[in-house]
Amino acid sequence: MERRFSHRVSQLLLASGLIAAFGFGAFGTLAHAQDDPGTVTPQDYVRWRTELRNWGRWGANDQKGTANLITPEKVRSAAALVKSGIVVSMSPPVPQTPAADVPDDRTFNRTTIRLSQTGTADNYQVSYHGLAVGHMDAFCHFFFENRMYNGYSASDNITEETGCKQGDVMGRRDGITTRAVLYDMPALKGVDWIEPGTPITRADLEAWEQQSGVKVGPGDVILLYVGRWKRRAAVGPHAGQVAGYFADTIPFFKERDIAFAGHDFNIDWNPRPGWGPEQGIYGNPIHEALLVWLGAGIVENLDLERVVETARRLNRYEFLITFAPIPVEGGTGSPVNPLAIF
């Protein structure tokens, strides 16, 4: 699953020496993916590394990426979606005990440090990247061949002592307030949940748009619902297999100019046979594409169950979304509690 930031940068750079060259390039003409995921290949993905970049689009010093598309006008139009005033949290309770999808080192540790006759206090400690904590990723969380979003050198900008000098979570410190569009895959397929390991393709997303009548657009957050938490409650936690975005959604994200891709699990489909180091693909391909090439954000492990219930009841699959990170200088991301406002 996700590579842990605690790996030394030097180790990652050594591994990246095995990968094909990562040069600058321009956005090219792209054919839409077909229903068969096999029509998009790892060779397409490697080509997209240069064709789909947004590097330099908002200037050499840009720290916001596609969030630049969330203009004041965009915020005002998103706020106009609020009709009923219903507010729904999209974050699961933080995991405080280990489970199949919560390794020991990824539990949220809450420790009471003071208890008196007049009050109490506690300490929080968490490694939030992984499969259980609702969180957002900063650009510097992923890089390829020593290059982060906008071409910044990872070795020049990331150290274990200081964290990230460029592309850290501070670029999101003013928060995200924009339009969210919910893509309800179980409703599309007529099931309670999508089984782990299922790739969600561009054709699936476009089929849902036809059914729901709404489409994600510039500056929006796309929220993919597969019923992860409903399935977890019914059959228990799991790890290693994820119903997530397939590679053919990457040109879709580029064309639609999304600000963030969201999901109720890790965003990358898994397992990925035929999409590994032998094909020049390391780590999580959707993470790399969004964070490194497009400058788009990621927010994952969201609990979308109550949002889906509300959207189905109201028959409204677009709404205002707002969330913000803890402003940690040098941080690779942050736990978040996004709110949907209908």
Domain coordinates in residue numbering, the chain: 9-93+137-341
Burial group, residue 307, by CB count within 10 angstroms (0-12, 13-18, 19+): buried
Contact indicator for 280, 20 with CB cutoff of 8 Å: yes
Greatest Cα pair distance, the chain, in angstroms, is: 68
Residue 232 confidence (pLDDT): 96
Residue 37 confidence (pLDDT): 63
Nearest alpha carbon to residue 295 among 259, 268, 319, 321: 259
In this prediction, residue 38 has a pLDDT band, given cuts at 50, 70 and 90, of: low
Pairing of strands 163-164, 297-300: unpaired
Q: Show Cβ contacts of residue 201 under 8 Å, excluding neighbours closer than 6 positions.
A: 33, 35, 37, 246, 248, 249
At 166-187, the pLDDT tens digits run 999 999 999 999 999 999 999 9
Q: What value does the mean pLDDT of the chain take?
A: 90
In this prediction, residue 36 has a pLDDT band, given cuts at 50, 70 and 90, of: low
Over residues 71-88, mean pLDDT = 98
Counted residue by residue, the chain has a size of 342
Over residues 34-48, mean pLDDT = 81
In this prediction, residue 10 has a pLDDT band, given cuts at 50, 70 and 90, of: very low
Residue 25 confidence (pLDDT): 33
> Is residue 14 over pLDDT 90?
no
Residue 15 confidence (pLDDT): 38
At 251-270, the pLDDT tens digits run 999 999 999 999 999 999 99
Residue 19 confidence (pLDDT): 33
Residue type, 116: S
Residue 290 confidence (pLDDT): 98
Residue 39 confidence (pLDDT): 87
Q: Torsion angle of alpha carbons 272, 278, 280, 284, nearest 10°?
A: 30
Pairing of strands 318-323, 158-159: unpaired
To the question of domain 9-93+137-341 being in CATH 3.40.50, the answer is no
Residues pairing with 297 in the sheet: 260
- Percent of the chain's residues with pLDDT above 90: 86
